[in-house]
A = this chain, B = another copy of it.
Amino acid sequence: MKLSLLFTKTSKTVPSDETARNAQLLIQAGYIHKEMAGVYAYTPLGLQVLENIKQIVREEMNAIGGQEVMMTALQPRELWEKTDRWDDKKVDNWFKTKLANGSELGVGLTHEEPIVDLLSNYVNSYKDLPIFVYQIQTKFRNELRAKSGLLRGREFIMKDMYSLARTQEEHEDLYEKAVAAYYRVYERLGLGDVTVRTYADGGIFTPRFSDEFQTLSTIGEDTIFVDEEKKVAINQEIMSDESLQKLGLNKDKLVEKHAIEVGNTFHLETKYTDALDVYYDDEKGQRQSIIMGCYGIGVSRLMGVIAEHFADENGLVWPTSVAPAQVIICRMGTEVEVVKKAEELYGALQEQKIGVIYDDRDARPGEKFGDADLLGIPYRVIVGKKTLETSVYEVKVRSSGEISELSLDSLIQLLRSENS
């Protein structure tokens, strides 16, 4: 992508209607556009980051046998009445709408009911189970307040996966597979070291705890207590002597931290499958209940978390795995030979399938450097008169500020190794 062609521009002004740092950073760098509080559009660079996160999540869900589907936003009332989740008194953040004939519809805030309804067409026998099914989808939640940018949206992107198991043992196995896949997702997103499995309230369907994945961060609104040896934590919400005893945690070893939830996994027991009348026949022909788990990752929230977590005073700092491009070429000067050299490098990197932005604008060096920092591209390469003389490229690492001089081969090698 040539920067002269990209329709977005960076802005030096902090948007006055945003208090969340993630939204400020992303708007200033031209990654997102605010439609209204909690509702954001994604510009080309922002969409690329979102797609990169989605793809990592997708690959890890596929790796444990997840089958991807796409459910609908429009939801029929009848389905949600079966589980008593239609009434606004029971679920207080529905967006609702109406068909032309007056029938009320919901606008999808979650998808347990429709997923189970879908699967009911195909599940009859023990041979049809187990199943992991997931989607990466826009969800709509009518939040009273939405001041946290991408961290809490009214319209947002989420990966939600569901497991259907025949026995408790099978459920536990699927559940831990999903948890392991979650660790791999956070690892690949660059959040592995700071994300910890955290016991939390399990909801109304089970006496068991759920698991939250909490990224340790000063921006977090949650308070958790971490056992750094065991690498697990407990959410303040369920902190009690009884909980600690159940979990085998020692109060004295726990350290209080701020954190932000970037995923959660729940035991749903047989609540939804029973309510929607979906059972399976076992090997003896006996009808049995189906045990369900559900597994959420906030994809657009993760984009906000990553943006805010890694940023510095000069702007965004994307991990390579999610950056809209790995490298930005800053052309310094407009001399024919310099332009030619820069175009050559751009072509060479594209040929190597390395994601590259080429700042081909006739702008001052300071503006180009400022934009490269604001955009948060992992590597910045300068092509100027000095490059012509020395045949080496000055490369700056965005995260550390470290500068080195590399030959074309070494540069390509560096970028390719980051890419794999």
The residues of A with any CB-CB pair to B shorter than 8 Å are 5-9, 30, 33, 35-36, 39-44, 47, 50, 65, 67-76, 93, 95-101, 105, 107, 114, 118-119, 121-123, 128, 131, 133, 138, 140, 142-144, 154-155
Contact = CB atoms under 8 A, between A and B. Distances in A.
A144 B102 CA distance: 11
Given A41-B118, A122-B9, A50 B70 contact: yes
A47 B69 contact: yes
Nearest to A128: B7
Contacts of A131: 7
Given A7-B133, A41-B72, 14 more contacts: A5-B65, A7-B119, A7-B128, A8-B122, A35-B74, A36-B76, A40-B72, A41-B114, A42-B70, A47-B68, A72-B155, A73-B155, A99-B142, A100-B144
A58 to B, nearest CB: 11
A374 to B, nearest CB: 15
A144 B9 CA distance: 42
A391 to B, nearest CB: 33
Contacts of A35: 71-72, 74-76, 114
A45 to B, nearest CB: 10
A42 B154 CA distance: 24
Within the oligomer, what is the number of copies of this chain?
A: 2
A44 B73 contact: no
A51 to B, nearest CB: 9
Contacts of A72: 35, 39-41, 155
A74 B122 contact: no
20 contacts: A5-B65, A7-B67, A7-B131, A9-B122, A30-B122, A35-B75, A35-B114, A36-B76, A40-B72, A41-B114, A41-B118, A43-B69, A43-B118, A44-B67, A47-B70, A50-B70, A73-B107, A74-B95, A96-B97, A100-B142
Contacts of A41: 69-72, 114, 118
Contact of A107 (B5, B99, B107, B121): B107
Could you tell me the dominant secondary structure of chain A's interface residues?
mixed
Nearest to A5: B65
Q: Which 8 A-B pairs have the closest CB atoms?
A: A42-B70, A95-B97, A44-B67, A97-B97, A35-B72, A41-B71, A100-B144, A39-B74
A5 B9 CA distance: 47
Contacts of A119: 7
A227 to B, nearest CB: 38
A234 to B, nearest CB: 32
Contacts of A76: 35-36
B74 A140 contact: yes
Contacts of A114: 35, 41
A33 B119 CA distance: 10
Contacts of A65: 5
B73 A140 contact: yes
A140 B35 CA distance: 18
Contacts of A5: 65, 67
Contacts of A122: 7-9, 30
A105 B35 CA distance: 11
Contacts of A43: 69, 118
A130 to B, nearest CB: 10
Contacts of A33: 118, 121
A142 B5 CA distance: 37
Contacts of A98: 95-96
A303 to B, nearest CB: 12
A317 B97 CA distance: 37
Contacts of A155: 72-74
A173 to B, nearest CB: 16
Nearest to A361: B127
Which of A76, A107, A119: most chain B Cβ within 10 A? A107
Contacts of A7: 67, 119, 122-123, 128, 131, 133
